[in-house]
Structures are given as C-alpha cells and as structure tokens.
Structure 1
Amino acid sequence: MRSQLHRLIICLLIFSQGFSQELPPFENFDSTVYSAGNQNWAISQDENGNLYFANEQGLLRFNGAQWELYPMPNGSIARSVYCHDGRIYTGCYMDIGYWENNNSGSLVYTSLKPKIESLLQEDEQFWKILSIDEFILFQSLSGIYSFNLETENIELITRESNIWKLFKVEDNFYYQVLGEGLFQISNKKGALVSDSELLKSKSVVHIFNKSDKIYLLFKDGQLGILNNQEILDSVQIIPNKEFQVYSATYIETLDMIALGTIQNGLILKDLEGDHNIQINKKNGLDNNTLLSVFYAKDGNLWLGLDNGISYIDLDSSVTQFVDQEGVLGTVYASIVYDDQLYLGTNQGLFVRTQGDDAYFSLVPDISGQVWSLSVIGNTLYCHHDAGMFAISKGKVANVFNQTGVWESWVDHDSKTVYIGCYDGVYRSTDLSMTAFEKLEGFNISAKDFVVMDNQIFVSHEYKGLYQMDFDQHLNTVDNISLIDDVRIDKTSDLKRFGDVLFLTNRDGIFRYDAKSKQFSKDEKLSQEFLSGGFESGKMNVTSDDALWFFSQKELLKVTRGNIDDNLNVSSFNIDSRARDDMSGYENVSLLEQDKYLIGTTFGYITLDTKYQNTTEPSIKINQVKKFYNNGVENLDVSQAGILPHDQNNIYIEYSSDSYNPLRPVLYQYRLNQETWSKWDSKPQVTFNKLNHGDYEFEVRSMVDSQISSEPAIYTFEILRPFYLSYTAQIIYVLLLIATGYAIHLTYKWYYRRQKDREAKRHQKELEVLSLQNENELIQMRNEKLRSENEFRSKELAVATMGTIRKNELLNEVQSIAQKLPDSPPARELRKMVKKNLTSKKDWISFEEAFNNADKDFFKKIKAKHPSLTPGDLRLCVYLRLNLSSKEIAPLLHISPRSVEIKRYRLRKKMELDKETNLSDYIISM
C-alpha cells in the first residue's frame, strides 16, 4: 500500500512538471463549517482516528462527520494539542491539562495548573506537547516541563529566555534557544548540541531523522544535516526566501517534506529541493498562512490555517486541475496530441506543451464553443460552433465553415469521414477532407449520430430517434423513419462501440438488433448503470476502446474481453458533485495508459485506474442521546443504554475516519437484524416512539465499494411502562383472580335475582292475566250494560214516539170532537181526550225509562242549573233526545211556537251565549 502510494505521488509529481497544476484533491473547511475560531495552531490524532485542533476558541474535535468545540476553561486560546494513550493534552495561556472521554462520548477537562502553578512565570503560553515513555513534555517560550504519568508530578526541566520550538527525533528531544543554539534534553536537563552561527541566527522549523542523519529545516527554507556541531550539505529547497516556513513535517513513506509557509500556502518537496507540488490561495486553498501541518494515519495531510482548516488527500488515484482564474471555462473535450494536452471548452481551444510550466494558452483563431476533438490520420480536428478546424504542426485551418459541427466519425474501410452538424450529416470521401458534401433529405441537428451498415441513426433530444438509409455513391438519404420503441430525451445518447449500437436513457442501456430492427434492454449493464443513480445518459468511447458511462455516484468503464466479446465493467467512485461536470456533455479521454482526463466546469480531473484503494473503511459510534419533552440527555456509548418507556426517542451519531471529498463515505444501518437501510451520506439517525423491548443497532460504512467488515453496534433497552411491568402483571393476575371471584359472586347474585325476577315476572303475568280476565268480564258487563242501555234507549225512543203519535192522534180526535154537536157522547169524548192528553202517567213512565237510560243526567243538570223547574227539566230531556220543536210540541200539548218560547226562556236560565247551541249543550253534558 505504501509503495503504491509512493509511486503514485512520484507519478503525480512528474506529471505536474509536465502538465503543471494537477493537484491532489483537497477540501477546505472554513470557520462557519466547524463553528469555531479562524486560527488553528496545532493538530493531533488519537488511536480511533479522531482529529484534534488547537483552535483560537478552544479544543476542536473532528470524527470524520461531526465537529465539536470544547472551549478552554479559562477562555484562552488553545496553542498546542497532543494525543497520547486515550488522553488529549492541551496547552494554553497559563494552563496545561488533559481531556478524556466520558461515558457519553463528550470530553471532560482535567487541569494540571495546581501542580505547575508555583513553577509558572508571568504570561506563559504552551506551544508544544510531546511524549516519551511515561513522560509528557510541555514547552512554553520560557520553559520545558515534564509530567510523570505514574506519579502525576510535574518538574521544570529547563528555564530559558527564548525557547523557539521543541522537537522529537526518535527518542531524543531537541529545542532551540534563539541566539544561543540547539540544545538536547538529557537527564532531565538541557545540554548544548551546537552553537553554530546558523543555529544562532536562524529559526529551526522542523527536525527529523533519515538514514541515521538528522536534518534541520530552517524558517527560510534552508535544509541541512547536523553533523557533530556543524550544519553540512545545506540546500535551499525554497529558492524564494520570501516564502517563510512556519510549520513542516517529514513524510517518510514519500521521502518528502511538507512545508507550511506564511505567505504562499503548502509546498511539497523532495529533500533535494526538486519536484514540488504547491497548493495556495491561487489554486484553491482558503488561506496562504499555515500555522500547522499534520500527516495523518491514513496517509493524508491536514493543514491548520490562519483562517480555516484544509485536508489534502495524498492517498488518491485522482488529481485535479482547478481553473481558478476562469480563463478556460467548462471543459467539453480533451486529447493528447503531439505531446501536448488540448482542452476544448466553451471559451475556445487551449493547449499546453508537456514540460512547460506555463498556463494553458489559447490556440490562435479558435475561440468560442468547442464541442469535441478527434485525431484523423495525423491531424487533430476541432469540432466547433463555427465549423471544423484542422491543427497540424502548429498550423490551424478551417476545413469546414458552413455550419456548426458536433462530432465526426471515420469509416476506415471506405476512407469516408462523416460529420454531424447543426443542419444534418455531411461526408468527405477523402480522409484529407478537402471537400464535404451534404447528405440531402435530412436537415435537422445531428449531435448524436452513428453510421453503420449503410444506415445512419440520429438521436434528437426533442424529435426522437431517426433511422435512414443512404447510398455510398449518392449524396442522399431515404427511408427515413422514427424508431419509437425507446424513449428519447435530452438525457439520451447514442454510441457505436465496436459493432454494437448502444442507446441510453433514464430507463437504462439498450442494444440495437439489426435483424429485428429493434432495441432491447441490456439488463446487466442497465443494473450497473442505474445502481449508481441516473445523472445523464452521456457515453464516451476513449481511444483505448473503452466505453464510459456517468452516474450520480460513480464512473463506469466498459471493455471487451480479450478472448470473447463479453463486456467487463469497472466502477470508479467519483460522484457527480466531485466531478461538477456539465450534464449531458460529460467527457473523458485517455492521457496515457490507464490514466484518464475528465472534463469539469472548474477545469479537469485525472484518474489513474490502476490504483485502487483497498483500505477497509472504519466505523464507530460517537454519541447517543435520548430526547423527550423536557430536554436531551447523553447516554454512555460504552455500555447498553436503558431508557424509560416515556423517553423512547433516541439519536445516534456515527462516523468513519475517511475524509476524501472524492471518495465519499456512505452509511447503512439496521435495527434488530431487520433489513439494512439504503446507503446514505448522513452520519446520524433518529428513532422516534419505539416500543418497549431490547434493541440492537448496527451501522457500517462504505468507501470506494469497500464495506467495513464489522459493523459498530450499540444495544439498548426501552423499559416497559409500569402498567406492563412484571409487578403490574402480578397485580393484574391478582386483580384478575379477584375479578373472577367477584364475577362469580356477581353471577351467583345475578342468577338469584334473575330467578326472583322470573318468579315476580310470572306472578305479574298471572296478575296481568287475572286483570285481563277481569277487564274482559268488565268489558262484557259494560257491553251488556251498553246493550241494555241501548235497548232501554230504544224503548224510550219507542215510548216517546208512541206518546207523540198518541198525542197527535188525541189532538186530531180533540179537534174533531170540538166540531161535533154538543151532546153527552161528544162531551164524554172531549173529556176522555183531555184526560189522556193531560195524564201524568205518561210522563212518569217516560221519566222512569229516561232515568234508567241516562241515570246521571238529572243529577248533572240540576247540579249545574239548580233553578230549573220540572217543566224545564222535561224540555231538557226532550232536547237531549235530540227532538225538534215540532216533535216536542205534542208532548207538551203546546204549539211549536210555544216550544220556541220555552227554549228561549231555558237559554236565559242557563245563561248561555248566542253562539252556543242549546241542544248541543244539553246533549254534551
């Protein structure tokens, strides 16, 4: 791994000399990202891969996903940081101490000031911390202190007036006193090593060992070897002495030294001062002043800037060229031709000669939009918005200027060149392309076109996929048809790869079958292509006969097998955000064997496909929190968590110590052996309203398709609510028994009551039946009484009618008798008639019959009208029988007129108003 890395960096350096400015990928973190101060004075790393920065606002920790700031207890600037054996030691103004992780994953500070307070001088700040065996050394500008880890005692090793820096070389400690020379700590005391004029006059920035030689790097960039008391073989590795070095580190695996300058960013040099990589504000670094440089365990660099933090990925298959000045624009095409790198962009065609450190220069007469580049014969052709240009031996010629040209295709068998243009397809039957003829009959844009088997296929992003025939000897096309069995849109592309025609769209990758004249989906390629997330259907065929696809998460390279035509697929994890390419115009070209250039909107990226990172990514759980209505509480990540039932919301943070911006970390988790979640870049997850029970949370990470072999695990339990606890269950059982017994008694009581109710109901039924019988008897009696009453009423009516008829007859007889001559028989007759008309027997009989029929009438009417006379009562009885005045008159032996008068007088006695009918009133009583 390290030898691969060494070769990679050497290749990178050689290439950077040739093409200049290709840099390893790096990422800037400004203060708004990590939420702390601008300045970062020192960097260290613990055994778990966490990084620590001595920041102006305190101790800053980065676990690969989250940043955390821990202010110094006295509010001062953290000047130094050093990780050792699970502790993070820091030095600041008038205080030293160490931080340790508590059970919840947070840091807790322990100050050593009480042990050192009597030794401190005024205004001391601690700038360096180192360790050896059981001792931790703290260096200020005026003293060096030793902290014994076993006894926890602190001793003053030396007190000097102007200590510059403390260095560790293997098991030896050196420090420089400005104006005096270089000293070594021996037997807990400082001993002078060299007082040469160079060491008195110049500040030493770094000391390291190589091949048993001690190298000293000075602030002005001079590098020398310490031999006895002299500095030998001195080399000025930074020619420009204005570039003052403030921090540095030697990278043994690369045999290089990383220089952090004050004015010009980072410089990577070999010890001879030759090949270099320079990263500064001009090519993307946030700040040119580097306060600290740290080589991490993963083989990459961290820079503490005067304003921010930066990460340099030295262990990468990728380099990048960043067009900071915006001269180039977006790269649409690239090619190496005559040992020169050409870039076709939206601003023109640019070139840079190998071995030339200068910036790219614009090819004369070719400015504006370049679409593609190709070499035909020994000539480079540029397909441009203004036509087609030929570049050969430094000369430029416009060989086609009728319309814009997208791309070209060469049929080597017929020596014919086809070019897809804004208004159709043109061809030249001569590879020298002295003349072009248009294929008549097709006049729309041919941005994506393929020629095969005397047919032309054109994919138009809005109109669809055209298929047409053409004659090799005629300049016309015919049989133009639209193929509608595949979808075409602005994300589609059409490419010929060998003898196979491929088409892409959002649904996948399709092959054309010449026999059926239809496209069919290639399931294997489509699965590979779509699994990375669809970004664009753009395809590229590079000069080494490889077909390239671009997805959201990766690049796919497809090659044919050496023996058969089976396709082999390789993937490279460079996602679309890192590529920042122009969607629909993605492009890749071969630079040299196994090395490719990918065009971007900011310049380009180079990819070495031979180099594959095989390091297994790490995964760790950093913090677990439970949260509820009243707040948030950290949990101990080292042991199983126990959560009350009403605090069943949990938040888990995790991370990997992979920091490469072009190799993003993805995470996947599951709970209780359920299905793994989808891969996601988020380094945290929240579970809400979990049910009670035991839980096991697992999380793993993936980088470059490498998955961590063992997941990080956190177990926790959510307690049952009291109503589901075992105590509650015992109570429930007792209650159940008591309830059962109560139910038994209740049922017993119920059935007893039911029996009583049934007996009562039966008794009531008997009573009801008896009442019903009695009612029936009463009804029968009533019916009998009604019948008798009706019979008597009928008798009364008959008697009354008989009386009426008798009286009428007697009246007639009387009127006849009155007419007879007076004689004893006549007088006897008159006397007999008068006697019968005035006889009271009839009325007595009638009254008796009436009382039998309507017993209460006389009582009611006499009670209501006590002033009524018997004659009035007799009239009332006739009226109750609903007799008319005419019918009543014979009964009373008076005229109907006299009956009306009697009726009138009766109304007055009864005091009835005019609206009340007398007969109705009497009948209703």
Structure 2
Amino acid sequence: MKKYLTILLIYFIVCAIDLNAQTLPPIQIYNPENYNGDNQNWQISQSDDNFIYVANNKGLLEFDGAEWQLYPTPNNTILRSVKAIGEKIYTGCYMEFGYWVKDSFGKLQYVSLVPHLEQKMRDDEQIWHIIKLNEWVIFQSSNSIYFYNTLQDNFKIISATNTIYNIFKIKDGIYFNVRNEGIYKIVNGEAELIIDDPQIKNERVISAFEVDDQLLLLTQLSGFYKLVGNEVFKWNIPANKLLSKTTVYSALQLQNGDFIIGTISNGIINLHSDGSVNYQINQRNGLSNNTALTLFEDSNSDLWVGLDNGINCINVTSPIKVFNDFNGVLGTVYTSEVYKGYLYIGTNQGLFYKKLDSKDQFQFIQGTEGQVWSLFNYNNEDLLCGHHLGTFVISNKKATLIDDNLGAWTFKKIPSHDNWLLKGNYNGLSILEKTGDKWSVKNKIEGFNSSSRFFELDNENHVWVSHEYKGVYRIQLNDNFTRATEITLEPSLKVGKNSSLVKYRGHILYAYENGIFEYNTKENTFEYDSLLSPMITNEDYVSGKLVVDDKDRLWVFSKENVYFVTTNHLTNKPKLNSISIPLSLRKVTQSFENISRIKDDTYLLGKANGFLTIDLSKINNDTEYTIHLNSISLRDLDNKNTSYDKYEVGDFKYKKGILTFNYSVPSFNKYMQVKYQYKLEGQNNNWSEWKSTASSRFENLGFGSYTFLARAKIGNKLSINTAQYSFRVERPWYLNNIALVIYFVLVLVIAFIINKAYKRHYSKKLQNEQLETEKLISDIKNDQLNKDIESKNRELTLSKMSIIKKNELLNSIKRELKEGDGNKHINSVIKLIDKSLGDTKDWGVFVKAFNNTDKGFLDKIQNLHPDLTPNDLRFCVYLRMNLTSKEIAPLLNISVKSVETKRYRLRKRMKLHHEESLTNYIMRL
C-alpha cells in the first residue's frame, strides 16, 4: 500500500509541475563578468566586419567573437546609444555624442561632434537613439533631434517642448513620438504632426513598422495599432491578451517578418507576422534576465538582447532547437520514439509523452518510474519499452509490464518470424511473441547469459553480441530459437571501452576507440573501415556508439561533432556529413548517445536535462567565415605592454618578452564553436593543433624574419581567409652591423695573433728540431771524429812506441858494440845505427799521423813562434802529446837531462814567463 501511495504522490507532483515542452532557439549568455562591464545594456549594433558593439553603463563594449573590450565614455557617464555606420561607431551619452574609429593597432579612438554644434546642448540631455538616413546620422535626446550631415560636417537641430520618447526609421522616412502630442514625421527638414489620435497621444510608442504598406505602431501598454488612412485602429491579433498583461520596453521586426517584443518583466515574445505567438523566452526557460532593454538582429539573423543584467544572443534561425528541463522533472533522455502522433521520451526518471508539435506539457506514464533504456515501435501497432524493471507495452498512454525479468536493453525483429522479437537483457537473450494483440515472453535462449545491450542478427541467422568488457560473440541458435548451439568469441577484435555494434546496409559494424570495423563474410573476419573510422579515432573519440535510423542513416558521435552517413545516389558510396555539436553542449552519458527521427528531416538528440532537435533541411553549409587579426602586442620583462601596427610589416627591437597575437571569427552560434590554428614561419612551419583559444603567444623570439598565420574552422568548414602578419626581430646590439665589424676586426686580430703565435711556435719548434738534428749530426760527426782521433791516436801511439822501441834497441846495440873491441866492421855498424837514429823518415810518418789527430797545431805554433827550429817543433809536438821527459829522450836520441835543458831553452825562445808551465801553454794552443 505504501508503495502505491508513493507512486501516486510522485505522479501528482510531476503533473503539478509546469513542464512546457516547447523547444526554443539556442541562447548564448554573457554576464557582466564575461564582458567586464556594468549590468545594464541600452543599445546594440554591428559593424561591417561583424563585430558587436553594445552601449553599456560603463561605456562602449566591443565583442569580436572571442574577447570583449570596454571603452569608457569620454566623460565617464552612462552610454545610452550606439550605431555602427561604415568604419565609424557613433555613440551618445550624457551631454556628449560623437564617433569612434579603429586605429591601425586595433584600438578605438573617440572623436566628439559636440564642438561642431552651433548652439549648446540643453542641460542634462542624454542621447537615447541613433539612426542613419542617407548622408545623415540622427541623434535623438529627450528634448532634441540632431541631424548630422556627414558630407558637409554640419548640424540641423529640431527641438521639442515635451519629451521625445522615441525615433523611428521606416523606409526613407523619419518618425518620432512626443509625449502628449503624438507621432511626427520629418517632411522637408521640418517636423509635421501626422497622428494625434488619443489612443496614441496618451501612450508611449515603443516602435513603428510598415506592414502591407500600413504604419503599425507598438505601444508600451496597449499593444499594436494600425494607421489606415488618417485613422488609428487597434490591431486585433491572437497575442493581444498576452500583450495586455505586458509592459513593453523594446521591439524589433526580424528579416523573416516576425516581431520580437522586449518586456519589462517577462522576457521576450516572438510573434509571427500575423500576430500569433510563436514562443516566449524568459528567465524561467533560458533568458538570463526578464527585462529586455534593447533588441538587435545581426547579419546572421541572430537576435541580441540587451538586458537589465547581461547580454543574450539567441540563434533564432539555428537548425538546432533546445528543450531544457530546468525543473529536473524529465532528467537525462536515453531514448525517444514517435508513436501514433505522440512523442515519447524515455529518461532515467521514467517514460513521458506529449502530442507531437504541440506546446503541451510532457505527461508522465504511471508505473514507469526509473531507468528507461529503449523504445521500440512495432509496425506502429505497439510501443515496447525496455526498462530497468523489465519490459513494458505502452497502450493508450498506459504501461503494462509483460516481463518482470530485470533489465531489458532493446529489441530486434526476427525476419523469419514476423510476430517474434529478439530482446537483449542484462542476463542474455530472450524471445517475445505476439499472439493476437498480446505480447508475452516465449522463452529465454539457453546457453548464453551475458549482458546483451548491443546485438544484431546477420543474414545467416547468427546473433552478434557486443559486450564492452568481454568482446564480440557470434552465436549460432537452433532452429526454434531456444538454445545457443555454438558460441564463438571473435578473435580479430579487441575489447573496447564504450564500444557498440550495429547492422548497417546489411553489414555488421563494430566501433570502439581504434576505429570502425566491418565484418567480411568471405574472409570471416572484421576489417578496418578507412572511410568511417576517422570520425571517431584519435582525440575525437568519446564513444563508439552507432545508431541507424529509419531512413538508413548511420549516426556517429565524436568529441566535436555529430556525424551522419548517407548514401550517394550516383555512386552508391557513403557520404559523410557533420553537425557541429560538441560534447560539452550535448551533455550526455558517453556510450548512451541516442538520436531518432521524429518527423521529416527533424531529429531528436537526447541529452542531460532535456534534448535537442535538429532540422537537417535547415543546415546551411554555405556560410563563409572570415578570421580577423585584431591586435599585436609585446609585453617585456618590466611588464610594459607595447602595441604594434597590424597593417605594416613589423620591425621589433630585440628584447626578451611575450609577443601576443589576438584574432577571432565573429560567429555567435552556440552550437557551432570556432577552432583556431596557427603557425609562425621562421620558427616552425607546421600548423598547430586546433584549439578554441583565439590568441597565440611566443616568448623570447630570436632575431630574424617571421610570418605569423592563423586560420579558423567551424565544424569542418575552414575560414575563407588566413590572417597574416610579417615582422622582423632586429639583431641585439651586440649583433648589429657595427658590432659585427668590430667582431670581424677582433677575429682578424686574434687570428693574426694566433697565426703569429702559431708561426712562432712552429718556427721555434722547427728551429729546435733543426738544432736537435744538427746536434744529432754533430754528435754523430763528433762520435766519428772521436773514433777517427782514437784511431789516429792509436796510430800515433803505435808509431811513437815503434820509434821509441827502435831507438831504444839501436841505442842498446850501439852501447854494446862500443863496449866491445872496436874494429872496422863494428864502427861501420855503429855509423849505420847513428844514421838510423838520425833518419827523418820515421819523423815524417809521425808528423803526418799527428796532424791527422791535432790539425793546425804546428801551423799555429809556427805562426806564434816563427823562430822555432824543426827540432824545437818536434819537441813541441812531443810536449803536445803530454809525453814525459823520459819518453821524449829516446825519441830525440838524447838523455833525459838534455831533455830538461831543451825545455829550458824552448821556454826562453818562446819568451814564456817563469811561472808559466811550458807544457800547459802548449796544451792550451
């Protein structure tokens, strides 16, 4: 009982919650923290380069698509109006108006027009609106209208007694609304009252339009009025009831003819051109504030809303529409299906439905609380719901549980049995059978008990089951589908996180992080599909989930895109199409991505807290995008920031710091995010990875020439241009031309010094080597001379000893002969001996040997002492040979005493001093 009371209570709570199921355009929200300005935003405009300009309490806001820039007003007052005209941005504030022009550094510079006035502005005037008509720029304050002639640079002024509420441009006419007076039109430069009807006279006209050649006026409190001829009539439209409860503050007619009405307390209202309500967006369903101070439609038909607190950009023409479950009633959408004119949504909180294309609230189907995994439309006869609690059949908005076996993943038709369905469960496979109009469980397939979330039947009645953690099974069933007869784990595939398996165009496909693989029945193996795989490989992979819709489109989900594959009718080959919806905006549980066709070319994509709808017929891939180089700056080590002219070739001084390039694509579509890529030629000629940051920084660039290039892409479409900037970093002072000349001279000097030192070193080395060689030669010669001298000495010694021995022998013989009896024959012998002793031949041989040993001695001593006799010279030679008197005596054939006497006489003849040794003197010569 308690269980049923709980269910009933939940049902009433859910039904009591206002859950408007209308899908709305995507909304980009910019808070004051984003644009660094004040809360209130009074007017919005767009320049020719598609930059957005906003009149904010703090000044002029500029938005290039990537960054906001704030320019305070010249007198620091609230900026009330802005209008981009050509290259100028006209603005108005308290007691001041003029224009801004962008300089070559990418910054806006202000020029005041107030000094051009011939008369002073009234006290406390504020410029509330600015419009353009031909060569005139018209500024409207509460008291005056200033007509500025841009060609002649002069003013014409129209003043009013009462407050001027507003000014309007309709075709080529200028109208304005004056309090308690009515509507004026400028005719021939003068104000002419054209409407003074009390219905208008006592109202504040917010805006004026021309519809079917009739003037249409929107008032603050009473809705629309029409001017027919000279009479004013209430415009009776379906929206009048809503407008009667609304205070209007701003209004705009879109290019498609629709009206956008900005209110004080209820957001914005979109009316069709016939006055019927299309949708309303307020703070409850997406707008960041309920007070719309200004409205503006940009060049891409995006609607900008200046709010009392923030700025919103609504992508009105986007092919993507959004349903956000702000109340948390639906939860995360896991499946969707259209059945008998109703849209069914299965979420983690149950099953909901509403009439397709209606603005009705979603209704909860009682009994389906909890996780819904799938919905299956069986021939538009029955709707089956795979649920955590089991299997339900949905009929007449009620759910009937036909199988309470926990966990029903999904269902597949069995070609050979029209009334059977193969069901994947938490614990294997089972067969559902329809008998009459009733569904029941026929049997569970025995022999296979693994979770079967992804499974398919091939053309040979094999069942393929993909298990995320075990792999891919091929199961052969018996003929009556009651038992698995053969189970094979596919060896050619790896287990993959977030993998899935589908049947597409008769082929089994398996997808995981390494790509998409197709089963080749001939080779009996899975093969890599090179065409499909690049969609989910590398960094783009988030899930291998594949979905095949009822139009035979294959859907693939990557990090940045949602892809769908169609067939080229001419070539019959797959064609890849992409929709730029990044994962961060899809907000779906990975591996549980889901998409289904709900009508024609409109698809529903489930996400957390709601869903998206995508109209493929409205996807425009012809839009061209331009990237702008916005500014170039260098921040040095002292934190000083210097800007550079972006239109001239840069010439930077060499300094350490951070060089920053800012660029952007002014695209404001929420679901088409911009990615950027850059390269710096001269440093790296390769493009960087794609990134969402719209700036590039380079630290401490070396000297040289560089070219910076940046490009962008939205989805898979590249920008039509490449932003480019060439610059040169000068050499540092120590590498300039003068320094290089000095270095060159120094190098030459150093080279000269080194060369001289080198030559000196090697000259000295050569000299030393020559000396060593000469010394070696000298030593060799000396050794040879010594050997020669030794040889000569030996010869001299032998000669000397021979003479001495001969003389000694002869003297001995002579003495003995003298002692004997003298006779004639003996005397004859004695004479012969004396002759031999006095023979000079031995002396000649001796002298020759002596000269070989001691060359030049005899010549030298003869030169010094020319009066020496031959005997004296002979005696000197013996002394030179350092012979003793005893050795000399036999050689001279005299006694030792006579030798001493001969010494004395020789000293005297040489005139030597008494104390000087004769032998030493002769040895020194």
**Structure 1 CA distance for aligned equivalents of residues 313 and 286 of structure 2:** 12
SS of residue in 2 equivalent to 1:367: coil
Aligned residues of 1:225 and 1:234 also touching (Cα < 8 A) = yes
SS of residue in 1 equivalent to 2:236: strand
Q: What CA deviation, in whole Å up to 9, does each residue of 1:880-907 have, x standing for no partner?
A: xxxxxxxxxxxxxxxxxxxxxxxxxxxx
**Structure 2 CA distance for aligned equivalents of residues 297 and 564 of structure 1:** 38
When residues 158 and 479 of structure 1 are mapped into structure 2, their CA distance, relative to the original with a 3 A threshold, is: same
When residues 170 and 430 of structure 1 are mapped into structure 2, their CA distance, relative to the original with a 3 A threshold, is: closer
**Structure 1 CA distance for aligned equivalents of residues 643 and 468 of structure 2:** 55
- The residue that corresponds to 2:561 in the other structure is 554
Please give the residue correspondences for 1:728-807 in structure 2 after superposition, counting only pairs within 5 Å. Answer: 728-739=739-750
Q: Which moved more, 1:376-385 or 1:209-218?
A: 209-218
Aligned to 1:683, which of 685, 688, 694? Answer: 694
Q: Residue 492 of structure 1: CA displacement? A: 0.8
**Structure 2 CA distance for aligned equivalents of residues 129 and 363 of structure 1:** 55
Q: Residue 727 of structure 1: CA displacement? A: 3.6
Structure 1 counterpart of 2:706, one-letter code: Y
Aligned residues of 2:536 and 2:544 also touching (Cα < 8 A) = no
- The residue that corresponds to 2:450 in the other structure is 444
**Structure 2 CA distance for aligned equivalents of residues 717 and 211 of structure 1:** 61
Structure 2 counterpart of 1:264, one-letter code: N
Q: Count the aligned residue pairs.
A: 758
- The residue that corresponds to 2:515 in the other structure is 508
SS of residue in 2 equivalent to 1:523: coil
Structure 1 counterpart of 2:167, one-letter code: L
**Structure 2 CA distance for aligned equivalents of residues 434 and 60 of structure 1:** 66
**Structure 2 CA distance for aligned equivalents of residues 681 and 311 of structure 1:** 19
Aligned residues of 2:217 and 2:225 also touching (Cα < 8 A) = yes
Q: What CA deviation, in whole Å up to 9, does each residue of 1:553-584 have, x standing for no partner?
A: 11222245558864333222222122222211
Q: Residue 544 of structure 1: CA displacement? A: 1.8
Aligned to 1:396, which of 371, 378, 399? Answer: 399
When residues 298 and 428 of structure 1 are mapped into structure 2, their CA distance, relative to the original with a 3 A threshold, is: closer
- The residue that corresponds to 1:629 in the other structure is 637
**Structure 2 CA distance for aligned equivalents of residues 462 and 737 of structure 1:** 74
- The residue that corresponds to 1:575 in the other structure is 582
Q: Does 1:496 align with 2:499?
A: no
**Structure 2 CA distance for aligned equivalents of residues 364 and 755 of structure 1:** 113
Structure 1 counterpart of 2:454, one-letter code: D
When residues 520 and 755 of structure 1 are mapped into structure 2, their CA distance, relative to the original with a 3 A threshold, is: closer
- The residue that corresponds to 2:376 in the other structure is 374
**Structure 1 CA distance for aligned equivalents of residues 235 and 449 of structure 2:** 71
When residues 561 and 108 of structure 1 are mapped into structure 2, their CA distance, relative to the original with a 3 A threshold, is: closer
Q: What CA deviation, in whole Å up to 9, does each residue of 1:391-436 have, x standing for no partner?
A: 2344432222232211111113222211111221110344653342
SS of residue in 2 equivalent to 1:462: coil
Q: What CA deviation, in whole Å up to 9, does each residue of 1:715-747 have, x standing for no partner?
A: 111112234333444444444555555556556
TM-score, normalised to structure 2, is: 0.77
Aligned residues of 2:656 and 2:699 also touching (Cα < 8 A) = no
Q: Residue 754 of structure 1: CA displacement? A: 5.8
Please give the residue correspondences for 1:16-55 in structure 2 after superposition, counting only pairs within 5 Å. Answer: 21-55=22-56
Structure 2 counterpart of 1:637, one-letter code: K
Aligned residues of 1:532 and 1:554 also touching (Cα < 8 A) = no
Please give the residue correspondences for 1:283-298 in structure 2 after superposition, counting only pairs within 5 Å. Answer: 283-298=285-300
Q: Does 1:124 align with 2:125?
A: yes
SS of residue in 2 equivalent to 1:578: helix
- The residue that corresponds to 1:717 in the other structure is 728
Q: What CA deviation, in whole Å up to 9, does each residue of 1:479-538 have, x standing for no partner?
A: 233224322244011112242111111111112234444322212111233277001111
**Structure 2 CA distance for aligned equivalents of residues 496 and 615 of structure 1:** 35
- The residue that corresponds to 1:208 in the other structure is 209
- The residue that corresponds to 1:230 in the other structure is 231
**Structure 2 CA distance for aligned equivalents of residues 171 and 192 of structure 1:** 17
**Structure 2 CA distance for aligned equivalents of residues 478 and 245 of structure 1:** 73
- The residue that corresponds to 1:616 in the other structure is 624
Q: Does 1:323 align with 2:325?
A: yes
TM-score, normalised to structure 1, is: 0.77
Please give the residue correspondences for 1:65-464 in structure 2 after superposition, counting only pairs within 5 Å. Answer: 65-116=66-117, 119-220=120-221, 222-232=223-233, 234-236=235-237, 237-240=239-242, 241-251=244-254, 253-354=255-356, 356-377=358-379, 378-415=381-418, 416-430=420-434, 432-452=438-458, 453-464=460-471
Q: Residue 596 of structure 1: CA displacement? A: 0.8
Aligned residues of 2:561 and 2:715 also touching (Cα < 8 A) = no
When residues 271 and 757 of structure 1 are mapped into structure 2, their CA distance, relative to the original with a 3 A threshold, is: same
Q: Which runs of 5+ in 2 are unaligned?
A: 1-19, 785-925
**Structure 2 CA distance for aligned equivalents of residues 40 and 31 of structure 1:** 10
Aligned residues of 1:129 and 1:138 also touching (Cα < 8 A) = yes
**Structure 1 CA distance for aligned equivalents of residues 231 and 279 of structure 2:** 30
**Structure 2 CA distance for aligned equivalents of residues 411 and 727 of structure 1:** 88
Q: Does 1:702 align with 2:713?
A: yes
When residues 728 and 707 of structure 1 are mapped into structure 2, their CA distance, relative to the original with a 3 A threshold, is: same
SS of residue in 2 equivalent to 1:59: strand
**Structure 2 CA distance for aligned equivalents of residues 748 and 437 of structure 1:** 106
- The residue that corresponds to 1:592 in the other structure is 599
Aligned residues of 1:581 and 1:599 also touching (Cα < 8 A) = yes
Structure 2 counterpart of 1:268, one-letter code: N
Q: Does 1:665 align with 2:674?
A: yes
**Structure 2 CA distance for aligned equivalents of residues 356 and 136 of structure 1:** 46
**Structure 2 CA distance for aligned equivalents of residues 60 and 343 of structure 1:** 42
Q: What CA deviation, in whole Å up to 9, does each residue of 1:801-826 have, x standing for no partner?
A: xxxxxxxxxxxxxxxxxxxxxxxxxx
**Structure 2 CA distance for aligned equivalents of residues 501 and 754 of structure 1:** 87
Please give the residue correspondences for 1:780-859 in structure 2 after superposition, counting only pairs within 5 Å. Answer: none
Aligned residues of 1:454 and 1:472 also touching (Cα < 8 A) = no
Q: Which moved more, 1:389-398 or 1:367-376?
A: 389-398
**Structure 1 CA distance for aligned equivalents of residues 200 and 539 of structure 2:** 58
Structure 2 counterpart of 1:146, one-letter code: F
**Structure 2 CA distance for aligned equivalents of residues 40 and 564 of structure 1:** 54
Aligned residues of 1:529 and 1:556 also touching (Cα < 8 A) = no
Q: Which runs of 5+ in 1 are unaligned?
A: 1-18, 774-925
Q: What CA deviation, in whole Å up to 9, does each residue of 1:159-200 have, x standing for no partner?
A: 433110111222322111111111123444422222111221
Q: What CA deviation, in whole Å up to 9, does each residue of 1:230-282 have, x standing for no partner?
A: 3246235442212111111111x311111111111121112321141221111
Aligned to 1:643, which of 644, 652, 666? Answer: 652
Name the Cα RMSD after superposition.
Answer: 3.0
Structure 2 counterpart of 1:144, one-letter code: I
When residues 745 and 356 of structure 1 are mapped into structure 2, their CA distance, relative to the original with a 3 A threshold, is: closer
Q: Which moved more, 1:182-191 or 1:327-336?
A: 182-191
Structure 1 counterpart of 2:393, one-letter code: A
Aligned residues of 2:542 and 2:590 also touching (Cα < 8 A) = yes
Structure 1 counterpart of 2:426, one-letter code: Y
- The residue that corresponds to 1:606 in the other structure is 613
